[in-house]
């Protein structure tokens, strides 16, 4: 997605997704697999929403 132009709000969403990814790693290392899984799924949902908004992979 690096070739796309994102507005400020979309860049904020990407930053939040990155933060959730880092949280997922933190909880994974602590052995809290359920929280880790929840964090990475939330990050995926945020990125997936941008994909849909930009028409990537949408038929």
CATH classification at residue 18:
1.20.1270.90
In a domain, 14, yes or no: yes
Helix (H, G, I), strand (E, B) or coil at 4: coil
How distant is the alpha carbon of residue 57 from its chain centre? 17
| Domains contained in the chain, number | 1
Q: What is the pLDDT along the chain (59 residues), one digit of tens a residue?
A: 557 788 899 999 999 999 999 999 999 999 999 999 999 999 999 999 999 988 888 77
Q: How many residues does the chain have?
A: 59
In a domain, 59, yes or no: no
Containing domain of residue 24, as a range?
A: 8-53
Residue 31 gets the label, from left (phi > 0), alpha (psi -120 to 50) or beta, of left
What does pTM read for this prediction?
0.84
Give the helix ranges, DSSP H, for 1-59: 8-30, 33-53
In a domain, 26, yes or no: yes
In a domain, 32, yes or no: yes
């Amino acid at each position: 997605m690096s070739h796309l132009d994102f507005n400020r709000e979309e860049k904020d969403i990407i930053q939040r997704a990155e933060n959730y990814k880092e949280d997922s790693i933190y909880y994974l290392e602590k052995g809290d697999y359920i929280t880790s899984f929840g964090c990475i799924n939330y990050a995926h949902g945020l990125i997936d929403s941008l994909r849909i908004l930009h028409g990537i992979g949408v038929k």
